[in-house]
Amino acid sequence: MKRVLMFGDVNVDIMMGGMESLPVPDRETICETYELTVGSSAAICACNYASLGGDVSILGLTGQDENGEFMLRKMRTFGINVDLVRRTSEVGTGVTVNLIHGNNRTQVTYPGTIAAFEGASIDSSIVNEFDHLHFAGPYLQTKFRPHITRLLDLASEAGISTSLDPQWDVTECWEFMEEWLPRLTYLFLNRDEALSMSKASSPEESIRWLDVKTACALVKLGSEGVMVRVETAVKVVSAFSVEVVDTTGAGDAFDAAFLLGVLDKGMELEEAVRFANAAGARSCTFIGGVNARSSVDDVSAFLAAQGEE
């Protein structure tokens, strides 16, 4: 089994589900469900990877607070190795409040530890313990971000594969991306991220732009599936049709399942994308990013029910 290290944010998600209306200034809005759960791209991805039976560790920062304790406890219950998570008393653990109304999700984030996470002391003695490094959500991690190029170089020197899911960059400057692209094994983007970064007008155009810069770009297109180059052809590997409850973390569930497919299951690119589309679709039928708890058997059963093996 390949040992995977995920770098990034470790924050909580507060999910307010089934809101009767979108929030109105100076008014109270009632919702149907509430849950405090695992948030952040890296932690959600790690929980999904561990649910699939993979060997995963996480390196990030939490506060010396209740939310930090909650995150460590939750991640341990998923079977994630949290020994590399650091604690700070200087800021609180990051929090995102998710306001879910129909298919809309409005978010408010307190960055806290996400922005305070720093990477200067991470060196080859840590990196070389692993077979794959995954980076998630660097555009909120202002202090960690400048260290990623160096860590990608350490991985490359040691023959360790790498992946990145940048998530959205509010500045749309995509700082350091030109340095990261040639160093990455896999790049995960959604449609908006791909179009913004490449200044392209279609996902296909963005894939062509990315293709000359990076080894393997996967552009996630929500309910349409994923666009990727397979050998010489650019393809859309279709998504599966499901009754969507909440799309939070679907992209991270996709990333986790794709990585497990290629790293541990020896899947070819297209097979891994199909497997990951199934995990992403399954994730959409639960509130929050980690409640699907998809095992490999669950994803296989889902594929079988869709008429695929």
Give the binding site for ligand ADP (CB under 6 A). Answer: 190, 220-223, 225-226, 239-240, 242, 244, 247, 250-251, 254, 277, 280-281, 284
Partner interacting with residue 239 (select from ligand ADP, Mg ion, none; CB below 5-8 Å by kind): ligand ADP
Partner interacting with residue 277 (select from ligand ADP, Mg ion, none; CB below 5-8 Å by kind): ligand ADP
Q: Can you tell me whether residue 4 is helix, strand or coil? A: strand
Say if residues 35 and 287 touch (Cβ distance below 8 Å): yes
Cβ closer to ligand ADP: 255 or 264? 255
Partner interacting with residue 222 (select from Mg ion, ligand ADP, none; CB below 5-8 Å by kind): ligand ADP
Q: Which residue is nearest to Mg ion (CB)?
A: 251
Cβ closer to ligand ADP: 88 or 283? 283
Q: Which residues contact 226 (CB under 8 A, 6 or more apart)?
A: 218, 219, 220, 236, 237, 239, 254, 273, 276, 277
Binding string to Mg ion for residues 185 to 204, with x set by CB under 5 A, is what? -----x--------------
- Is 60 near Mg ion (CB under 5 A)? no
CB of 296 to ligand ADP, least distance (A): 17
- What is the C-alpha separation between 96 and 112, in angstroms, rounded? 10
Backbone angles phi, psi at 88, to 5 degrees: -140, 150
The strand ranges marked E within the chain are 3-8, 12-17, 33-38, 55-59, 61-63, 86-88, 95-101, 104-110, 132-136, 161-165, 186-190, 217-220, 225-230, 233-238
CB of 241 to ligand ADP, least distance (A): 7
Amino acid making up residue 292 = A
Q: Which residue is nearest to ligand ADP (CB)?
A: 251
Partner interacting with residue 60 (select from Mg ion, ligand ADP, none; CB below 5-8 Å by kind): none
Cβ closer to ligand ADP: 117 or 302? 302
Q: Which residues contact 96 (CB under 8 A, 6 or more apart)?
A: 11, 12, 13, 14, 39, 40, 107, 108, 109, 110
CB of 189 to Mg ion, least distance (A): 8
CA-based nearest residue to 58, from 37, 69, 72, 70: 72
Cβ closer to Mg ion: 97 or 221? 221
Among 39, 54, 203, 251, which residue interacts with Mg ion (rule: CB under 5 A)? Answer: 251
Say if residues 83 and 58 touch (Cβ distance below 8 Å): no
Which range in 17-25, 45-53, 246-254, 289-297 contacts Mg ion by CB under 5 A?
A: 246-254
Q: Looking at the DSSP assignment, which residues form a beta bridge with residue 96?
A: 13, 109
Q: Which residues contact 73 (CB under 8 A, 6 or more apart)?
A: none
CB of 64 to Mg ion, least distance (A): 29
Cβ closer to ligand ADP: 29 or 107? 107
- What is the C-alpha separation between 294 and 260, in angstroms, rounded? 12
Residues in binding contact with Mg ion, number by CB under 5 A: 2
- What is the C-alpha separation between 272 and 41, in angstroms, rounded? 20
Cβ closer to ligand ADP: 153 or 205? 205
Partner interacting with residue 242 (select from ligand ADP, Mg ion, none; CB below 5-8 Å by kind): ligand ADP
Which range in 11-19, 88-96, 197-205, 248-256 contacts Mg ion by CB under 5 A?
A: 248-256
φ/ψ bin of 231: left (φ > 0), alpha (ψ from -120 to 50), beta (otherwise): left
Q: Which residues bind Mg ion (CB under 5 A)?
A: 190, 251
